[in-house]
A and B are shown apart, each in its own frame.
Chain A
């Protein structure tokens, strides 16, 4: 297949003059600056980009950012290896070497694929019921080898990390419409603010949704706001920065990733931000719908399809079918159609979809109202979908009439789930809002408020006004009361949604709830049948929501299905106990300046190493790292170690593996000799030792 065959001829916010070469599973591909690994893979027609955790089912791209459950990759080799990244969050760079995880030799041809045939023997919690005879120890090594995603690096991390502290009046988390509006209001009010956004560019969904804000295209508004924020003296904008934890007394932990400018640049930076007020404008994540075979490559979130088409100019497929229960998918369908992709139909589970459907129909997109998805055709790639008319209320089929629609991409949208992880972590309560089919914050906390999609207001005009109000109020509470100007306004869009979690049950076919961990509707039913009714039990028994995507696309569906299966209302089921962190964070960035880390003496010594490259400096490094207390401690330790050898201990050892006695009697002297034999540079010596060893 020719390079970038799935790339649209024009459009997108990629730099077509800058071609980047990369490898995936050993094959060479090309992408453009501005791509993510995911968009570049899609542009090159890579449909099977990962394998599922348990059954090794083929999987394709499903989301376009942190919600991605399927395409987990590891990049780099040797000391540069980073496991378990979501391809959707890896910014493409020249020479990127990515491999899919948990499959061999590649995601496309996985020798473990036949495990799918045993799916019947591996329902939820099967390991609790077997492997007991003769002993778990016989099976454990196999199970362990089969489990796990990427491969952990075995060499020390050469990258640099940093830690910084920041205090501010208002911390705005999220750089979408609500976050930008909040930051704008707070900045104008005169507060000291920090705006945090985890994407490489500000704007959030405005990067791919088409809106008119204050009479201009949304992206113009975004850049105007960005320049105003950057020009403000008391405002700091942090991009590529994830707020991963919200802790006591308004401490928010951020992880800032650097661009790959140079190998020696600080790779990640941990920020401790203590804010007087926090505005959570973390947005919402689109929710899939549970129906048979909904895991085949080619099934993706409607918002992701739109994102790929608009922002990256990548065709997610040639013929698209939309399955939806909300209005936002109509915008996605229109966006795809405008880019030359055939939209076969929009299957809306709602009987009366309203104005969006009327305008879609007017634009020539067939709308099948009151139909639901019965199954996806295709094994390694989507070939079509069967739809059937639904009863009012969408709980059962109305007739046996099945209609097949041929397509190669199936865009699903079951509504939106507000990203309220940070809010829940600090004890914020949620309530179920049936008209929005979502769990939304019940009430703001005294210092933490949610705005925009994060609080369940999915329409862009509401995001802007809520965000602006939240920013203004937060700033006012901290004493910054200057005039904020006019609230930005957008041309109103529909954001209607009806609760629809799953198609009516089909006992013979699996319908996936959690894609990464291979949790199906049948698994949830099994858990309920075995009298596990608490959401926590169901989560632990089926492992729904426990994968590295932290259940961003699966938790709400699992909860709603559990409510249905146990005959309870969603609020009565409740949610699982919120646990930090909201996004995975590297160990290294967490330890950069922590109590056990090397102290300044070591840093000073290492700086000197650069100049001296001699034995003296290396000893200083070694001593300094081991004895943070300084010279006195070193002298004392030497006296203790060398003055009184622990021969009696050596004598106690197993004789065959008895260590050299001198190692115990005079460790420093011995190591020094070993060192001088190997060469003068302590750092090279260090690396050499590591290589020898591993």
Chain B
């Protein structure tokens, strides 16, 4: 059963279902595949151009991950600003967009975040058709498992909050959870006995690379310059104002410079001369070898913080806690791996013979209240999109949308009014530590 709530933001949802105007050659479909098969697939156009950087843009977006590309896309599409450059140090989607566990959901607690993440999820729901690129959104359900009376109490409170905020969510009892997760440890001796759960049916997973590529392709079609292998070396100042960036591909100037660089936000902020309430940690993810379908939804255990899903390819994708010290090294660590695996096997003892195939880490930008910052920076000319912590992927369409709004109008979008930098001084924090799902 879907319970959809129509908040005051209805207009934005409808707006985004307008298809991007694309030439027939660009449009992807089964028919296009068949047509191209006849010509041995030799006539596919480029997904995006490799433009030479121009010296002036209206907006320069630093960071070619999901948020940066989505921002560029919505700037061009919603606000008609297409003289935009997205500059990326390495390759598109190579940061956290390519390193996460691909979970999308909107079961947040406070109104600000619940509305915002639900908006992002709604955009996801129409994203494949909108971008003409299958991002494989699979709304298979996100199930948070409670293991004790205390967990059930928390879940009940959480569901109430969700329903008040118009987000779908249902409480499940132990039997219902068992129906969803028949392989869950059901024995009386389970260290974490099964008591109940919270299900968000609209939650699920999406193909992470496809999200970045889909936005890049659509933004490129709207005239945005997507420039890879272009590292920011410093900022160009005009008095107090920042007016451009010095890059490995030369100087680029723009009145507005947007930073969407997740874990590296502090590094760029230091170059621009300010500090952020951000600490960068390594968040690890693990995949097993692919197996036939064994898991129908995304499952998260409240006791261990371990969560897992099965990708369409068949790999189990598992995540857990952060490495508990700041790091910019994008590699895995053994103690966290062991802790996560132990937690996982307490939940699903039968997975113990599956084998770890890859382990990696993304650098996440954690702020104290686990709520993003979408705001102007203390230095004029710079705009910030950071603080996503462990939850940036699920927010990509929403983050891009509201950030584009801020860049275009210089006013925060209604959905992101609370996500300011000032909240750290005023104390109006939105503490989503619990609903963010991962122990920070």
Is there a direct interface between A and B, measured as CB atoms under 8 Å apart in the complex?
yes
Which residues from chain A sit less than 8 Å from chain B, CB to CB?
Answer: 53, 81-84, 120-121, 123, 126-133, 136-137, 140, 143-145, 147-157, 245, 247-248, 251, 253, 272, 425, 507-508, 522, 526, 529-534, 536-537, 540-541, 548, 550, 577, 579-581, 584-588, 590-591, 593-598, 621-622, 625-626, 628, 640-641, 646, 649, 652-654, 657-659, 663, 667, 671, 674-675, 682, 685-686, 689-690, 693-694
Interface flag for B74 (CB, 8 Å): no
Interface flag for B332 (CB, 8 Å): yes
- A–B pairs, 20, beta carbons within 8 Å: A120-B37, A123-B41, A127-B136, A131-B30, A133-B29, A143-B312, A148-B292, A148-B313, A150-B292, A507-B40, A529-B44, A530-B47, A548-B290, A577-B330, A586-B353, A587-B345, A587-B355, A649-B153, A657-B173, A694-B350
Is B346 a contact partner of A693 (Cβ separation < 8 A)?
no
**What is the CB-to-nearest-CB distance from B240 to chain A, in angstroms, rounded to a whole number?**
37
**Residues of A close to B354: CB separation below 8 A:** 83-84, 152, 586-587
**What is the CB-to-nearest-CB distance from A67 to chain B, in angstroms, rounded to a whole number?**
15
**Residues of B close to A654: CB separation below 8 A:** 170, 173, 176
Please judge, given known A-B contacts A154-B350, A596-B343, A626-B191, whether A580 and B331 are in contact too, CB under 8 Å.
yes
Is B353 a contact partner of A121 (Cβ separation < 8 A)?
no
Is A245 a contact partner of B359 (Cβ separation < 8 A)?
yes
Name the 8 nearest CB pairs between A and B, nearest first.
A148-B314, A588-B352, A594-B342, A129-B28, A596-B342, A594-B338, A534-B91, A584-B355
Interface flag for B10 (CB, 8 Å): no
**Residues of A close to B352: CB separation below 8 A:** 156-157, 586-588, 591
Is B138 a contact partner of A140 (Cβ separation < 8 A)?
yes
Of B189, B192, B292, B342, which contacts A597 at CB under 8 A? B342
Interface flag for B33 (CB, 8 Å): yes
**Residues of B close to A541: CB separation below 8 A:** 209
**What is the CB-to-nearest-CB distance from B52 to chain A, in angstroms, rounded to a whole number?**
14
Is B187 a contact partner of A598 (Cβ separation < 8 A)?
no
Task: Knowing that A147-B314, A579-B331, A587-B353 touch, tell me 7 more A-B residue pairs with CB under 8 angstroms.
Answer: A152-B294, A154-B183, A156-B350, A247-B334, A586-B353, A594-B342, A667-B193
**What is the CB-to-nearest-CB distance from A572 to chain B, in angstroms, rounded to a whole number?**
11
**Residues of A close to B288: CB separation below 8 A:** 587
Chain A residue with minimal CB distance to B207? Answer: A128
Cα–Cα, bound, A645→B96 (Å): 44
Is B29 a contact partner of A588 (Cβ separation < 8 A)?
no
Is B342 a contact partner of A595 (Cβ separation < 8 A)?
yes
**What is the CB-to-nearest-CB distance from B129 to chain A, in angstroms, rounded to a whole number?**
6
Is A694 a contact partner of B182 (Cβ separation < 8 A)?
yes
Q: How many Cβ-Cβ contacts under 8 Å join chain A to chain B?
A: 291
**What is the CB-to-nearest-CB distance from A479 to chain B, in angstroms, rounded to a whole number?**
27
Of B91, B98, B353, which contacts A153 at CB under 8 A? B353
**Residues of A close to B175: CB separation below 8 A:** 657, 659
Interface flag for B111 (CB, 8 Å): no
B residues 123-144 in Cβ contact with A at 8 Å: 128-129, 132-134, 136-139
**What is the CB-to-nearest-CB distance from B209 to chain A, in angstroms, rounded to a whole number?**
5
**Residues of A close to B42: CB separation below 8 A:** 507, 529
**Residues of A close to B98: CB separation below 8 A:** 536, 540
Of A156, A530, A628, which contacts B46 at CB under 8 A? A530
Of B29, B156, B289, which contacts A130 at CB under 8 A? B29
Is B153 a contact partner of A526 (Cβ separation < 8 A)?
no
Please, how many residues of chain B have a CB less than 8 angstroms from a CB on the other chain?
99
Cα–Cα, bound, A304→B270 (Å): 55
Cα–Cα, bound, A529→B353 (Å): 41
Cα–Cα, bound, A439→B312 (Å): 33
Cα–Cα, bound, A537→B44 (Å): 17
Chain A residue with minimal CB distance to B210? Answer: A128
**Residues of A close to B350: CB separation below 8 A:** 152-157, 694
Is B47 a contact partner of A136 (Cβ separation < 8 A)?
no
Is B359 a contact partner of A137 (Cβ separation < 8 A)?
no
**What is the CB-to-nearest-CB distance from A133 to chain B, in angstroms, rounded to a whole number?**
7
Is A596 a contact partner of B33 (Cβ separation < 8 A)?
no
Is A585 a contact partner of B355 (Cβ separation < 8 A)?
yes
**Residues of B close to A81: CB separation below 8 A:** 353
Is B292 a contact partner of A581 (Cβ separation < 8 A)?
no
Of B171, B345, B358, which contacts A581 at CB under 8 A? B358
Interface flag for B186 (CB, 8 Å): yes
Please judge, given known A-B contacts A128-B134, A640-B149, whether A659 and B173 are in contact too, CB under 8 Å.
yes
**Residues of A close to B176: CB separation below 8 A:** 654, 657
Is A425 a contact partner of B331 (Cβ separation < 8 A)?
yes
Please judge, given known A-B contacts A581-B357, A586-B356, whether A130 and B33 are in contact too, CB under 8 Å.
yes
**Residues of A close to B182: CB separation below 8 A:** 693-694
Of B28, B209, B359, which contacts A540 at CB under 8 A? B209
Is A136 a contact partner of B137 (Cβ separation < 8 A)?
yes
Is B360 a contact partner of A596 (Cβ separation < 8 A)?
no
Is B304 a contact partner of A596 (Cβ separation < 8 A)?
yes
**Residues of A close to B293: CB separation below 8 A:** 144-145, 148
**What is the CB-to-nearest-CB distance from B94 to chain A, in angstroms, rounded to a whole number?**
6
Interface flag for B367 (CB, 8 Å): no
Please judge, given known A-B contacts A123-B41, A253-B334, whether A585 and B134 are in contact too, CB under 8 Å.
no
Of B188, B346, B356, which contacts A596 at CB under 8 A? B346
Chain B residue with minimal CB distance to A533? Answer: B50
Is B193 a contact partner of A626 (Cβ separation < 8 A)?
yes
Chain B residue with minimal CB distance to A687? Answer: B187
**Residues of B close to A693: CB separation below 8 A:** 182, 186
Chain B residue with minimal CB distance to A140? Answer: B138
Of B91, B134, B188, B228, which contacts A129 at CB under 8 A? B134
**Residues of A close to B353: CB separation below 8 A:** 81-83, 152-153, 157, 586-588
Of the candidates A143, A245, A508, the one having the most CB atoms from chain B within 10 angstroms of its own CB is: A245
**What is the CB-to-nearest-CB distance from B100 to chain A, in angstroms, rounded to a whole number?**
13
**Residues of B close to A151: CB separation below 8 A:** 291-292
Is A156 a contact partner of B355 (Cβ separation < 8 A)?
no
Is A522 a contact partner of B342 (Cβ separation < 8 A)?
no
**Residues of A close to B94: CB separation below 8 A:** 534, 536
Is A132 a contact partner of B129 (Cβ separation < 8 A)?
yes
Cα–Cα, bound, A400→B329 (Å): 53
**What is the CB-to-nearest-CB distance from A587 to chain B, in angstroms, rounded to a whole number?**
5
Interface flag for B324 (CB, 8 Å): no
Is B28 a contact partner of A132 (Cβ separation < 8 A)?
yes
**What is the CB-to-nearest-CB distance from B338 to chain A, in angstroms, rounded to a whole number?**
4
**Residues of B close to A534: CB separation below 8 A:** 90-92, 94, 228
Of the candidates A53, A127, A150, A579, the one having the most CB atoms from chain B within 10 angstroms of its own CB is: A579
Cα–Cα, bound, A536→B338 (Å): 28
Cα–Cα, bound, A385→B253 (Å): 59
Chain A residue with minimal CB distance to B346? Answer: A596
**What is the CB-to-nearest-CB distance from A529 to chain B, in angstroms, rounded to a whole number?**
6
Of A145, A531, A657, which contacts B292 at CB under 8 A? A145
Interface flag for B56 (CB, 8 Å): no
B residues 54-103 in Cβ contact with A at 8 Å: 90-92, 94, 98
Of B32, B47, B294, B341, which contacts A590 at CB under 8 A? B341
Is A646 a contact partner of B134 (Cβ separation < 8 A)?
no
**What is the CB-to-nearest-CB distance from A655 to chain B, in angstroms, rounded to a whole number?**
11
**Residues of B close to A657: CB separation below 8 A:** 173, 175-176
Interface flag for B164 (CB, 8 Å): no
